Amino acid sequence: MAPRDHRQADINVTAVSDSVALAKAAADRIMARIAANSDRVAICLTGGSSPKQLYALLATDAYRSQIPWQRVHWFIGDERFVPAEDPLHNMGMARRIFLDACAPAANIHPIPTDTGNPDEAARRYESELKSFHGTNELGSARPLFDVVLMGVGPDGHTASLFPDYPAIEETKRWVVGVPHAHVEPFVPRVTLTLPALNSCREMLFEVAGSEKRAILTRVLAGENLPANRARSTGETIWLVDQAALPENFRGR
Ligand code: 6PG
């Protein structure tokens, strides 16, 4: 099925048939953003299980041979505060699936989890992001990232921005520590804040599977949830497969 566009309020929902089509649609959008920027490209990855097929696809020859790896930099939107080799580690997952085989090591920018605590890790990553960006400003004229990938959790969290947690209200810091997670896995987190995540040319949510339908229904109804407050200063797209698509969006 060809991707279909629906607009609800200012949310752009692109419906695809299944998780395979979703990974391809996401990969193609990333390729278009890379092609649109002839300079250094910054892509902020996400953790969880949703992006795994996309990451595997980027490692296949069809994509791998087209990506100018030397000028693409890879960041992560949130991290579980566990050792880098722990299966729960978000950047570790991305490294195993594609980055280590494809990207120069200097272009992979993990959140450090070998520091004393999540706050210290957040400070270090914020300073790495500022140094990469070359300024402490997050103006929409020159966004921090070309693409920010996102997922949504069952409580409406995105990155590690959980409902009613102070991190969601942060306006100054780019990265903060989150001592307790609201959902599994219950390990401390480090997360980029809304000002940093939103500073991108394109924010791409990937949502697949029937277990996501309930939360997506709430998001699309405009409920005040972290996932609804994450909006690119450029374009925000929700890529959704049929199983996750709410009833009133089906067959449109
Ligand atoms: C994390 C994530 C988180 C994730 C959502 C969706 O570290 O857990 O970055 O925000 O994207 O919870 O997770 P799934 O893709 O596993 O459903």
Q: What is the pLDDT of residues 59-73, one digit of tens each?
A: 999 999 999 999 999
Query: Ligand 1 centre and the CA of 184: distance in Å?
Result: 10
Q: Is the CB of 151 under 6 A from ligand 1?
A: yes
What is the pLDDT averaged over residues 154-172?
97
Rounded Cα gap, residues 173 and 196, in angstroms: 8
Q: Percent of the chain having pLDDT more than 70?
A: 95
Going by C-alpha positions, the residue among 126, 252, 139, 247 that lies closest to residue 201 is 139
Q: Is the CB of 154 under 6 A from ligand 1?
A: no
What is the pLDDT averaged over residues 47-55?
97
Ligand 1: which atom is nearest the Cα of residue 50? 15
pLDDT at 66: 98
Backbone angles phi, psi at 164, to 5 degrees: 65, 10
> On the CB side of 198, how many CA atoms lie within 13 Å of its CA?
20
- Residue type present at position 93: M
DSSP string, 71-88: GEEEEESEEESS-TTSTT
pLDDT at 250: 73
Ligand 1: which atom is nearest the Cα of residue 47? 9
What is the pLDDT averaged over residues 87-110?
98
CA-angle at 111, arms to 100 and 114, nearest 5°: 95
DSSP string, the chain: ---EEEEETTEEEEEESSHHHHHHHHHHHHHHHHHH-SS-EEEEE--SSTTHHHHHHHTSHHHHTTS-GGGEEEEESEEESS-TTSTT-HHHHHIIIIIHHHS-GGGB-PPP-SSSSHHHHHHHHHHHHHHHHTSS---TTS-SEEEEEE---TTS-BTTB-TT-GGGG-SS-SEEEESS-SSSS-S-EEEE-HHHHH-EEEEEEEE-SGGGHHHHHHHHTT---HHHH---SSEEEEEEETTTS-GGGTT-
pLDDT at 141: 86
- Structure tokens of 36? 């649109």
Q: Is the CB of 226 under 6 A from ligand 1?
A: no
pLDDT(205) > 90:
yes
pLDDT(23) > 90:
yes
pLDDT(140) > 90:
no
pLDDT at 1: 47
pLDDT bucket at 139, cuts 50 / 70 / 90: confident
Q: Is the CB of 163 under 6 A from ligand 1?
A: no
The residue nearest atom 7 of ligand 1, judged by CA position, is 47
pLDDT at 129: 98
pTM: 0.95
What is the pLDDT averaged over residues 12-21?
96
pLDDT at 249: 78
Rounded Cα gap, residues 252 and 208, in angstroms: 18
pLDDT bucket at 40, cuts 50 / 70 / 90: very high
- More confident call, 116 vs 208: 208
The residue nearest atom 11 of ligand 1, judged by CA position, is 151
Ligand 1 mutation target, pool 52, 113, 158, most atoms within 8 A of CB: 158
Ligand 1: which atom is nearest the Cα of residue 80? 7
Ligand 1: which atom is nearest the Cα of residue 150? 11
Tell me: the pLDDT tens digits for 216-233? 999 999 999 999 999 999
Going by C-alpha positions, the residue among 131, 128, 133 that lies closest to residue 110 is 128
What is the pLDDT averaged over residues 21-48?
98
pLDDT at 168: 97
- Structure tokens of 52? 């795994």
Ligand 1: which atom is nearest the Cα of residue 212? 17
